[in-house]
Amino acid sequence: MPESFESLEARLHDLGGFIRDQRRNARLSLRKLSELAGISNPYLSQIERGLYEPSAAILKAIAKALGIAPEKLYAAAGWLDGEAASEAAPSVETAIRTDPNLTTGEKEALIGVYRGFLKNREP
């Protein structure tokens, strides 16, 4: 049975709020998260306001930028059940972003180094 407009609207609103909360927890501005995720600032703003349903690829890019498992965003979007998302291990980036002993600059530097290591890995 097709999803009702009200149900879709509520789900998108919840997803947008979840992304906004994760962004704020990571102490990232909307502009910085859009830059890290490789999407436009206005598009990310519209996602956070529940105006658009992002694709799986966009959610994956946002999750990577936030340092969380994509499954958490897929669950928030209503595509997975909550159990699948809760089984995902916390990421290194999440640990760095939530460490209260580091400044924002130090967090960004550590995440940059970590991502550099991952890029330079042999396949």
Residue range 19-48: mean pLDDT, rounded: 94
Whole-prediction pTM: 0.65
Give me the helix-helix angle, 5-25 and 41-48, nearest 10°.
120
Task: Give a yes or no: residue 97 inside a domain.
Answer: no
Q: Look-up: residue for tokens 């159990």?
A: 83
Task: Give a yes or no: residue 95 inside a domain.
Answer: no
What local confidence, expressed as pLDDT, does residue 1 receive? 47
Token duo for residue 37:
């995720």
Share of the chain above pLDDT 70, in %: 82
Whether residue 116 is predicted with pLDDT greater than 60 in this model: the reply is: yes
What is the identity of the amino acid at 120? N
CA 30, CA 100: separation in Å to the nearest integer? 21
Number of independent structural domains in the chain:
1
What local confidence, expressed as pLDDT, does residue 117 receive? 81
Range of the domain at 17: 5-88
